[in-house]
């Protein structure tokens, strides 16, 4: 039987509400810093939810060649290009790509160019169709981040964009892993981006009663597994990984952060937005990912949970973790939610949280779940409340579960030669 090719992480880039580079992001995450605050992108006077986790101090001009390029790209694409450039620089890939036909790009977005859609619809209603921008469609379509990054680096390998709500970037990373493993490419830029903190985005999610309305205490609004949780907090941002086949990375002397060892994906086939009560398909998703990695559940040290701070979702995921990990769930397994600090980055969440797993392995630090003052009913795992924990992490798994019943799990392991 042919041995499967191994896939390693050689570059990382993030743009998040708590840091626009991996170093700052990780420092703030492990310190328990919240990125949630009052929304400043637009006037929120009429909105029930007036808080979000916005990216701050982001200057797209630093990442684009001309001001015209900035004007012709939606914010989600700008964030993605920035994260991709940082990841490629981190990987030492700043020059010409040796074999561009073997280098793929997959950067998804759950929603795409919502600001462009909203702005252009306003123009249509107020000024008529003759005033619409000729760049409207290229700016708003969800695949444009992947397209722009591939153009930037001349990447001519597999190129497409996943769209599966909150599982989007986990699917992007997983499918890139699969194509490298199967020999369709030797390297990939993979991740996701989201920029939906606009009136239509906040108003739409609020209409579902999905968002926290703890407007007077924004830094305490995202509180996974806490008894007082009342919904998730919208976030924005982007994350990108450079993934390579092991020998490809070795040949060019790349620094290897960790190994991406397994990927699972399933569907609830149950409800547009609610998970199965016991999250049976999330259980199967984690088991598939561990199986692909050749690992048992008792070998896992850390779960970076989906942990969105919703009343139903947090309990369902807790039940799923207990079912998959058995005795291990209460015996040494650490579980935490980055979303307590970053808010929910939607289509960018999975890849940013994969970066968290890589950094936990690299540093031996597990970031906390902040705001977990009083665990809710059934929420009785070690959720690393309030403060980061020092512990050697060899195997980590992160979960992403999206509207529509899309489940994805990724297993990251310490690299062992």
DSSP string across 66-109 = SHHHHHTS-HHHHHHHHHHHHHHHHTT--S--S-GGGEEEEEE-
Do residues 225 and 271 share a domain? no
Say what percent of the chain tops pLDDT 90.
Answer: 94
Read off the pLDDT of residues 19-43 as tens digits, 9 standing for 90 and up. Answer: 999 999 999 999 999 999 999 999 9
Residue at which a domain ends, from 251, 286, 307: 251
State the pLDDT at residue 2: 54
**Cα torsion through 284, 290, 296, 300, rounded to 10:** -110
Q: What is the mean pLDDT of the chain?
A: 96
Q: What residues contact residue 161 under an 8 Å CB cut-off, 6+ apart?
A: 106, 107, 108, 109, 142, 143, 145, 146, 172
Catalytic residues: 166, 306, 344
List, for residues 46-95, the tens digit of each pLDDT value: 999 999 999 999 999 999 878 888 999 999 999 999 999 999 999 999 88
- Rounded to an integer, the average pLDDT of 186-193 is 98
Average pLDDT, integer, range 108-112:
97
Q: What percent of the chain has pLDDT over 70?
A: 100
Q: How confident is the model at residue 226 (pLDDT cuts 50, 70, 90)?
A: very high
285 and 228 in a common domain: no
pTM: 0.96
Whether the predicted pLDDT of 3 surpasses 90: no
Residues 285 and 235 in one domain: no
Co-location of 302 and 389 in the same domain: yes
Kind plus residue range of the DSSP H or E element containing 11: strand 7-15
Whether residues 378 and 291 share a domain: the answer is yes
Residues in Cβ contact with 313 at an 8 Å cutoff, skipping those fewer than 6 apart: 275, 306, 401
Domain hosting residue 126, numbered range = 7-251
Whether pLDDT at 212 is above 60: yes
Same structural domain for residues 244 and 269?
Answer: no
Cα–Cα dist 389/387, whole Å? 6
CATH number of 143's domain = 3.40.47.10
Average pLDDT over residues 320-342: 97
- Average pLDDT over every residue of 198-213: 97
Q: How confident is the model at residue 1 (pLDDT cuts 50, 70, 90)?
A: very low
HEC assignment per residue over 375-406: ECCCCCCCCCECCCEECCCCEEEEEEEECCCE
Nearest to 168 by CA among 411, 410, 414: 410
Residues 205 and 141 in one domain: yes
- Asked if residue 2 belongs to a domain, the reply is no
Q: What confidence score (pLDDT) does residue 96 get?
A: 85
Domain boundary among 251, 276, 297: 251
Please report whether residue 257 resides in a domain. no
CA nearest neighbour of 170 among 25, 416, 355:
355
pLDDT confidence tier of residue 277, bands split at 50, 70 and 90 = confident
Domain end residue (candidates: 199, 229, 251): 251
Answer yes or no: is pLDDT of 404 > 50.
yes
Based on the structure, what is the number of domains in the chain? 2
Mark whether 268 and 244 lie in a shared domain: no
Q: What is the pLDDT of residue 354?
A: 98
């Amino acid at each position: 039987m042919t041995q499967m090719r191994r896939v390693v992480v050689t570059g990382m880039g993030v743009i998040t509400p708590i840091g626009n580079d991996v170093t700052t992001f990780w420092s703030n995450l492990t310190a328990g810093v919240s990125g949630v605050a009052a929304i400043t992108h637009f006037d929120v006077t009429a909105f029930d939810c007036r808080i979000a986790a916005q990216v701050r101090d982001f200057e797209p001009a630093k990442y684009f060649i001309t001001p015209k390029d900035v004007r012709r790209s939606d914010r989600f694409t700008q964030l993605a290009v920035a994260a991709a450039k940082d990841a490629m620089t981190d990987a030492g890939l700043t020059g010409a790509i040796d074999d561009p036909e073997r280098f793929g790009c997959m950067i998804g977005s759950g929603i795409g160019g919502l600001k462009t859609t909203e702005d252009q619809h306003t123009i249509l209603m107020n000024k008529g169709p003759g005033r619409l921008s000729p760049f409207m469609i290229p700016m708003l379509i969800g695949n444009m981040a992947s397209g722009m990054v591939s153009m930037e680096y001349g990447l001519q390998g597999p190129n497409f964009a996943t769209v599966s709500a909150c599982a989007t970037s986990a699917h992007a990373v997983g499918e890139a892993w699969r194509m490298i493993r199967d020999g369709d490419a030797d390297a990939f830029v993979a991740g996701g981006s989201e920029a939906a903190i606009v009136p239509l985005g906040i108003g739409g999610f609020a209409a579902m009663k999905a968002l926290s309305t703890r407007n007077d205490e924004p830094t305490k609004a995202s509180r996974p597994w806490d008894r007082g949780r009342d919904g998730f907090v919208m976030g924005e941002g982007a994350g990108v990984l450079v993934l390579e086949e092991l020998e490809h990375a070795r040949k060019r002397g790349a620094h290897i952060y960790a190994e991406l060892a397994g990927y699972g994906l399933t569907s609830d086939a149950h409800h547009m937005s609610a998970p199965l009560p016991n999250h049976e398909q999330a259980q199967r998703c984690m088991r598939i990912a561990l199986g692909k990695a050749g690992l048992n559940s008792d070998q896992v040290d850390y779960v970076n949970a989906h942990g969105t701070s919703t009343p139903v979702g947090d309990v369902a995921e807790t039940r799923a973790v207990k079912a998959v990990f058995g005795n291990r769930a209460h015996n040494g397994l650490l579980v935490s939610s980055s979303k307590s600090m970053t808010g929910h980055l939607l289509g960018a969440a999975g890849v940013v949280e994969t970066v968290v797993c890589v950094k936990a392995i690299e540093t031996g630090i597990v970031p906390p779940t902040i705001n977990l003052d009083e665990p809710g009913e059934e929420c009785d795992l070690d959720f690393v409340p309030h403060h980061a924990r020092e512990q050697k992490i060899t195997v980590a798994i992160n979960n992403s579960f999206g509207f529509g019943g899309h489940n994805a799990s990724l297993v990251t392991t310490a690299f062992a030669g």
